[in-house]
């Protein structure tokens, strides 16, 4: 056997061994046609560096869809997520970016349908009892009215992008309980808000699975970086007020991007 033949044989055996061991090889996104849908958690409100064309939608170059695009160079990229979007407005205003050639979709939607902004405003400005009552109203909406709205949205996504791999991302827990905060919301209020996030993520995961989509939680990524953790990746009450309770740039890059990357 010649030296060249021997080396070729060793290389072939090495590749076979890698395959047999299940060692992951670098994946290429060169053929991906990626569309990023959703609300402010996908557009990147709170992360700064908003694109001029996005206007009030506040699409940030620090948002996870943009970061993933920069790292993976997909064949095409449509970033249409918009601050304030609900399942209905995503369906009516964003799905036009999808087509039969779309291969990858990300979406966050549902928080605005159950009055997330009003919940936080109520809890910041009013009593503990009023806050907890408002959170419970939101939880009821999550359990009763939101599932049908999600089903409608997900059906629309699948209809327009029948070949796409669809990743539904969840929302973080906002507070570290028994954390460093000595002012602001009470522990009971923080616990109620965290519970609502858990319920919301549970509904999102179930409806995504029923639609054949992949759900990716961000809770693990944000653990240790909630409000009151001492190293928060989420804005507390902020100026401008629209940043409040949204991920900072580090929350997008350290929280949402890894969660999306692992599912995409």
Catalytic positions: 40, 246
Is the link from the previous residue into 240 a cis peptide, with omega within 30 of 0? yes
CA 226, CA 177: separation in Å to the nearest integer? 9
Q: Give, as one character, the DSSP assignment of residue 75.
A: S
CA distances in angstroms from 181 to 175, 176, 236, listed in the order given? 10, 9, 11
Rg of the chain in Å (alpha carbons)? 21
Q: How far is CA 73 from the centre of its chain?
A: 20
**Contact between 246 and 235 (Cβ < 8 Å):** yes
């Amino acid at each position: 056997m010649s030296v060249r033949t021997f080396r070729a044989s060793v290389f072939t055996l090495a590749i076979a061994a890698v395959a047999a061991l299940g060692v992951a090889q670098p994946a290429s996104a060169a053929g991906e046609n990626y569309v990023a849908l959703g609300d402010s958690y996908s557009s990147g409100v709170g992360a700064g560096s908003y694109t001029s064309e996005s206007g009030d939608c506040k699409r940030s170059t620090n948002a996870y869809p943009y970061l993933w695009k920069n790292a993976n160079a997909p064949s095409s990229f449509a970033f249409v997520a918009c601050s304030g979007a609900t399942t209905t407005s995503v369906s009516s205003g964003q799905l036009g970016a999808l087509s039969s050639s779309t291969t990858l979709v990300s979406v966050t939607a549902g928080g605005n349908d159950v009055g997330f902004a009003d919940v936080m405003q109520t809890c910041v400005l009013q009593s503990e009892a009023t806050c907890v009552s408002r959170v419970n109203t939101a939880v009821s909406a999550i359990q009763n009215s939101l599932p049908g709205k999600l089903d409608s949205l997900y059906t629309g996504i699948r209809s327009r992008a029948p070949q796409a791999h669809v990743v539904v991302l969840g929302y973080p827990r906002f507070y570290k309980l028994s954390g460093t905060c000595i002012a602001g919301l009470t522990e009971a209020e923080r616990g109620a808000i965290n519970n609502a996030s858990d319920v919301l993520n549970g509904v999102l995961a179930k409806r995504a699975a029923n639609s054949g989509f992949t759900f990716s939680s961000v809770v693990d990524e944000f653990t240790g970086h909630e409000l009151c953790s001492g190293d928060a990746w989420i804005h507390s009450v902020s100026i401008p007020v629209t940043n409040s309770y949204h991920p900072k740039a580090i929350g997008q890059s350290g929280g949402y991007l890894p969660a999306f990357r692992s599912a995409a």
